[in-house]
Copies of this chain bind each other. A is one copy, B any other.
Amino acid sequence: MKNMDAFFHPQTAVVIGASNTKGTVGYTIFQNMKKAEIKKAIPVNPRHKTVQGKKSYASITEVDEHIDLAVIAVPSKAVPQALEECMAKKTKAAIIISAGFSEVGERKNTQKIGELIRKNPGTLVMGPNCVGVLNAHNGVDTTFFERTRSTEPKKGTLAFISQSGALGSMILDWVGTQRIGVSKFASYGNAMGVDEADLIEYFGNDRETKVITVYIEGAKHGRKFYTVAKKVSRKKPIIVLKGGKHEQTRAAAASHTGSLAGASKVYEAVFSQAGIIQADDLLDLFSMAKLMEQEPLPKGKRVQIITNGGGFGIIAADQVIAGGLGLAKLSRKTVRKLKTRMPRAIISNPIDLLGDADHKMYDAAIRACMDDKNVDIIVTLFLFTLPTLDAGKLALVKKPKTRITKPVIAIAVGSEYTKKYLKKIEKAGFTTFNYPSVAARALRGMALYSEYLGKS
């Protein structure tokens, strides 16, 4: 296993190609690294005496300190020499941001880099053609995304690995709008050194990471990927979105990251045997990432729906079934208890509390389902706009006092008033969705993962 601490927890870092010109990649990366909570960030640029107020060096070899991390952001033809110097200096890790190699059919410099990597295993290399890493907890950040246009992700426990740098920027921006936060991010580009399997393994052992999400077009080394994923998925969930699923899109993937996107069916089989949760689209990836942060895992696939809108309940029940989950059948005891408590409500699946339901009825129904052994997952639907529901008093909003032994999620869609209460429920620790179909697919992923852990 590669020790990749130098990428995410360097004490000393140089930025080769650090710049004084705002808007350039070399400027942004050095600006980020200067702000990181590390011992020292050093600019390397032979054309300047100082960069952003710090003494600049002509080469990494001239720096006195030992270097943990070198970020290389120079024109492609200057990359081999810069990398060679990093290796001569015994730098622990190097990220090659620069593009213009195998992904555009370049051979000479690509080959040189390959040789350097083979001959110097003491220096771990990420890239080329990548945006590198981000550690939300210590501010280490080699990405060069335009911060005025995106939301900074909060510190959290979601790790994200992306073959595609641009997609990474999108996902970090999205996370910024969510309850959840990021632990670490890595975009590894052409994967000449470090690949997705190394990152999965590293994040598997990372205490700050609870859920690992991956965008991948093709695994660099199939067998290694499988072995690592199978090991890590026992410890924490791995959610994978694979690009290039169809014959026609595999060609596009090949020209994008230079990787051969494998046949979809082969990947699907490998993923499912390795305990990987498969996302079908960005929407799935996002909703599964949110949901998998929530504890506990379900013990089975039997979903109980609770609603104050009959039609809404039926639509959700249809989606639960379509999503490969099952509808729970409440025990006779639960039915009796709830019928006594609320004689007009329809105690079935869905439990229809009817349009004049109040928060107490919701609380009682959730508690009863929590106690019922026939129920594995509780899905609450809310029409917050109905006048008798005082949503601020819901146990789901105030954080319930009873022990949460099963996944509980909430679904609602609407304007400001509805959004406000969805946010409060999220804050209390429950995942919320706008649409039953999206929730059902995410729950299915969660249930399959739980089933995998139980079986293997």
Contacts and interface: CB of A to CB of B under 8 A. Distances in A.
A290 to B, nearest CB: 14
Nearest to A418: B173
Given A150-B385, A436-B281, A321 B174 contact: no
Given A173-B415, A176-B415, A282-B436, A387 B312 contact: no
A322 B281 CA distance: 11
A167 B312 contact: yes
A162 B312 CA distance: 11
Interface residues of A, number: 75
Given A311-B243, A355-B166, A417-B150, A349 B174 contact: no
Contacts of A246: 317-318, 321-322
A243 B176 CA distance: 35
Contacts of A310: 164, 166, 252, 256-257
Contacts of A437: 280-284
A98 to B, nearest CB: 13
Contacts of A322: 245-246, 280
A241 B315 contact: yes
A237 to B, nearest CB: 21
Interface in A295-317: 308-315, 317
A350 interface: yes
A244 interface: yes
A263 to B, nearest CB: 13
Contacts of A149: 384-385, 387, 417-418
A385 B174 contact: no
A185 interface: no
A374 interface: no
A68 to B, nearest CB: 28
Contact of A145 (B177, B244, B385): B385
A416 interface: yes
A202 interface: no
Nearest to A245: B318
Interface in A240-258: 241, 243-246, 248-249, 251-253, 255-257
B348 A283 contact: no
Contacts of A20: none
A259 B373 CA distance: 32
Contacts of A414: 150-151, 170, 173-174, 177
A264 to B, nearest CB: 9
Contact of A385 (B170, B319, B438): B170
B346 A311 contact: no
A452 interface: no
Central interface residue in A164, A166, A348, A418, by most chain B CB within 10 Å: A166
B252 A317 contact: yes
Contact of A256 (B215, B253, B352): B352
A386 B162 CA distance: 17
A327 interface: yes
Contact of A166 (B148, B241, B282, B311): B311
Contact of A177 (B251, B319, B385, B415): B415
B386 A252 contact: no
Contacts of A245: 318, 321-322
Given A146-B387, A386-B146, A434-B283, A309 B170 contact: yes
5 contacts: A149-B384, A150-B385, A162-B311, A217-B311, A283-B438
Interface of A: 23, 145-146, 148-151, 162-167, 169-170, 173-174, 176-177, 215, 217, 241, 243-246, 248-249, 251-253, 255-257, 280-284, 308-315, 317-319, 321-322, 327, 346, 348-350, 352, 355, 383-387, 413-418, 434-438
Counting from the closest, the 10 A-B pairs by CB-CB distance are A164-B311, A166-B309, A256-B310, A281-B437, A151-B415, A283-B435, A167-B311, A243-B314, A149-B385, A173-B414
